[in-house]
Amino acid sequence: MSDPRSAAPGHRVVVIDAGVGNLGNLMRALAHLGAEAELTVDPEVVAGARCLVLPGVGAFRPPRENLRGEMETAVRRALDAGAYLLGICVGYQLLFDASDEFGSTDGLGLLPGQVQRLPDGVSLPQIGWNQLVDVRDEHPLFRGLEAGSHFYFVHTYAPLEVPESAVLARAKHGTTFVAVAGRDRVFGTQFHPEKSGANGLRLIENFLEMAHEADSSH
């Protein structure tokens, strides 16, 4: 279902363990792509990274609280030094200004916008494969992916209000939400690319390539 073990040869990536959820399958996907992935809770490792992934499942607040302080500072230091960052699912939501889950909780503010609850009237949480629309298909994150590709989503909240300049793709579930966003070197997907078959692996590979190319051109 993907080119085995050579897609991102030796690309180094640091995966931030915010203390929630099972990160094994993300690590397995990175290994499958040939990346050298390190899972860490150490802010120093994060601060020195050139390529970061911030995963997360479940609720917004526990990982938000776990990141507060040293780890948040470390992420900002890495970004200031030119690192690339990919947020996945709740890790994606954490990148925005704030989330309405549990009243209102501030996010990392690395992407502009608000995370809100999807409207009632559709099955919630959304569990399953949904299709990207309004894809900014010239973006390198979508290299090799066809229009209308499906990805695997598991979520109840999503960024609904995001400035157009940061929107890379949308999807529909009850309303149109922002499924992929990005600004500068910070990107995120509401879906789980590590569980989205060949399309998902390709997107991860594209992200690793972007980070790697930027790093080699330094």
Partner 1 sequence: MSGETEASLPKITVRVERGGESGLTFRVIPCLDVKDGRVVKGIQFKNLRDLGDPAESARRYAEQGADEIVFLDITAAPEGRDTDLDWVRRTAEQVFIPLSVGGGVRKLDDAARLLRAGADKVATNTAAIERPELLTELAEHFGSQCVVLSVDAKRLTGSDQPPAWDVVTHGGRKARNMDVLEWIERGVELGAGEILLTSIDADGTRDGYDLELMRRVTRQVSVPVIASGGAGNLDHLADAMEAGASAVLAASIFHEGTYTVAEVKHRLRQRGFAMREEIG
Active site residues: 89, 192, 194
Member of 197, 209, 214, 215 binding partner 1 (CB under 8 A):
197
Helix (H, G, I), strand (E, B) or coil at 37: strand
Residue 22 as a binder of partner 1 (CB under 8 A): the answer is yes
Contact present, 92 and 190 (Cβ < 8 Å): yes
Q: Quick one: which segment of 64-72, 77-85, 145-153, 180-188 binds partner 1 (CB under 8 A)?
A: 145-153
Residue 124 as a binder of partner 1 (CB under 8 A): the answer is yes
Residue 45 as a binder of partner 1 (CB under 8 A): the answer is no
Cβ distance to partner 1 smaller for residue 31 or 41 = 31
Max Cα distance, the chain (Å): 50
Member of 93, 99, 190, 196 binding partner 1 (CB under 8 A):
196
The candidate with the shortest Cα–Cα distance to 79, out of 49, 56, 53, 108, is: 49
Q: Quick one: which segment of 37-45, 64-72, 157-165, 191-199 binds partner 1 (CB under 8 A)?
A: 191-199
In whole angstroms, what is the distance from residue 61 CA to residue 106 CA?
A: 9
Cβ distance to partner 1 smaller for residue 146 or 161 = 146
Give the amino acid at 148.
G
In whole angstroms, what is the distance from residue 25 CA to residue 89 CA?
A: 14
In whole angstroms, what is the distance from residue 108 CA to residue 119 CA?
A: 24
Contact present, 59 and 101 (Cβ < 8 Å): yes
Q: Which residues are near partner 1 by CB under 8 A?
A: 1-2, 21-22, 24-25, 28-29, 31-32, 57-59, 121-131, 133, 146, 148-150, 152-154, 171-175, 194-201
